[in-house]
A and B are shown apart, each in its own frame.
Chain A
Amino acid sequence: MLEVDVTQPLGSFRLDAKFSCRAAGITALFGRSGAGKTSLVNVLAGLSRPQRGRIVLRGETLFDSSRGIDLPPEKRRLGYVFQEGRLFPHLSVRSNLLYGYRRAPAAERRIGLDQVAGLLGIDGLMERRPAALSGGEKQRVALGRALLANPRLLLMDEPLAALDQPRKDEILPFIEQLKSELDLPIVYVSHSMQEIFRLADTLVLISNGRIEAVGAVEELTSRLDLRPLTGRYEAGAVLATTVAGQDKMFGLTELRFAGGRLRVPYLNLPLGQTLRVRIRARDVSIALTPPENISILNVIPCSIKEIGEEKSPQVDLQLDAGGAAIWSRITARSRAALGLQPGQQVYALIKSVAIDRQSLGQGLGRRPGAERFLAEDD
């Protein structure tokens, strides 16, 4: 467990963060710029000192104002990957990587240089200076350096924010692999829902220095009341699915989830593989009766759970499909024409399915990327 309860004045507002979450998998810290994400991470790392409060990681107290405990950063053993890499310019890549490793207690060096170099694909860069690396390479080395310090928790403060899209696509698979190959809890700061859908298990929403909600990514992103925080543009639902069948002839894969079956373009995954699928609200249409003679493959019976606030020409519906939440964004005109009301039985037509990220259950060692087929389709 990671338990945090701290307050600290921050210029115009104050950081007042209280939450606890499982110290496992990837916990995303999401909020707008200036919400206090970086301040919170700096407090966790011991780089800034909160006014009062306490921080406990897996039973060990890192900070407790009432007991006068304040471990300095070097004693906390938390890895920190900064936005801008911060490689030491006077040291080679190898020396940069080993900087934290050499200072980690020998008994806790589980992750070694060869493993990290292989994982991050930086074998060939060892003798170079940071100045001779590309942006993506620098960030991979920075990630490797933090990993080699063998931390108890890895903090990542928007590690991709300074990179362009191709570089982001270069790094993301590595972070996904960390999760599956190393037993290392990660706190991942981001203001990109895209990244969070793909990576995170737990979501911590922060706004104006306060923690607004903590929970599973699927759950929080489907809550209407949190929509102002999670964002309208990226409106969508995340479904936990399992690979249930393959249609080699038409190149389709069948996924099963609580509300029924989804057919998506072929995925090279074994049966039973768990997979997280994100369906954007604007990809879902509504029909009152099961349509016939239609090209759409996915017709999911469900009930209208909630109708969101009407904004300009469109309205968001939250649908309940056997317990799983699906979002649909339709025009207000269609809503009126169909006379949609909460509780009504309807059919969700899912035109295309966007899979942003797979949740890698046990299928370790597979290269992410091989299955990265239908990211954003339009």
Chain B
Amino acid sequence: MFELSPLETEALGLSLRVALWSVAGSLPVGLAMAWLLGRYEFFGKTLLNGIVHLPLVLPPVVVGYLLLLLFGRNGPLGAWLLTTFGITLPFTWEGAAVAAAVMAFPLMVRAMRLSIEAVDQKLETAARTLGASRLNVFVTITLPLIMPGVLAGAVLAFARSLGEFGATITFVSNIPGETRTLPLALYSLIQTPGGEAGALRLAVLSVLLSLAALAASEALARRLRARIGG
């Protein structure tokens, strides 16, 4: 019933690639940030928390524009990346992944932080008295206990990345085969006369993709919870 055209396949594949890299790249950073915010009190914590949450409240276009300023060829980070690694982010799919990651970051950190704060630190203390070092305690006790939260954060970030539009189109533009993800392809079709049918197909595809991601995460979370709760 549903056969994908080459253009649709391309947009779908690109979307998945961008979202996966976005999540994979931001996961360790997000976990570290969630740990920092969940476990420690320090000067400037409120400010840092605000910055992390900024993409949630800023217009995505503003985020995209700031990324362009930062990572543009003449931007402070962009110039450094180009001369050191030869990496260009604007107008590339890697740039799209960065834009998606930044936009999804607050959602990811929030979910992980909640689970970190829910861990009973007395269990970690108990593990220390049983001979485990701090790192060992993190790997064998804390990480398994926060796994459902980490997973939830990753899935939220994945879904958010799939749908990213504003920051992406501002930062990496709308280049077919490079940065034209599902939402951007859908937008282009709407702008094209006679593209309504194609747009509808892409909309249905997006819905199915999001539902599948949610269902998968739900099933995984249930299994994890069952393991923890006995």
Contacts and interface: CB of A to CB of B under 8 A. Distances in A.
Given A73-B129, A74-B129, A90-B144, 5 more contacts: A73-B125, A86-B126, A89-B228, A90-B145, A149-B131
Contacts of B141: 88
User: On chain A, which size bracket covers the interface?
Assistant: 20 to 34
Contacts of B228: 89-90
Nearest to A103: B131
Contact of A74 (B123, B131, B144, B229): B131
Interface of B: 120, 122-123, 125-133, 136, 140-141, 144-145, 227-230
A74 B230 contact: no
Interface string A94-123: 000001100110000000000000000000
Contacts of A131: 229-230
B131 A47 contact: no
B230 A88 contact: no
Nearest to B129: A80
Nearest to B130: A100
Contacts of B140: 99
A72 B128 contact: yes
User: Which 8 pairs, one residue from A and one from B, show the smallest C-beta to C-beta distance?
Assistant: A129-B230, A131-B230, A103-B131, A100-B130, A80-B129, A86-B126, A73-B128, A90-B228
Contacts of B145: 89-90
24 contacts: A47-B128, A73-B128, A73-B129, A80-B126, A82-B122, A84-B122, A86-B122, A86-B125, A88-B123, A88-B141, A89-B145, A89-B228, A90-B144, A90-B145, A90-B228, A99-B127, A100-B130, A103-B132, A104-B131, A128-B230, A129-B230, A132-B230, A146-B129, A149-B130
A47 B227 contact: no
A209 interface: no
Contacts of A77: 131
Contacts of B130: 74, 99-100, 103, 145-146, 149
Contact of B229 (A82, A89, A100, A103): A89
Nearest to A128: B230
B126 A82 contact: yes
Nearest to A82: B126
A84 B125 CA distance: 13
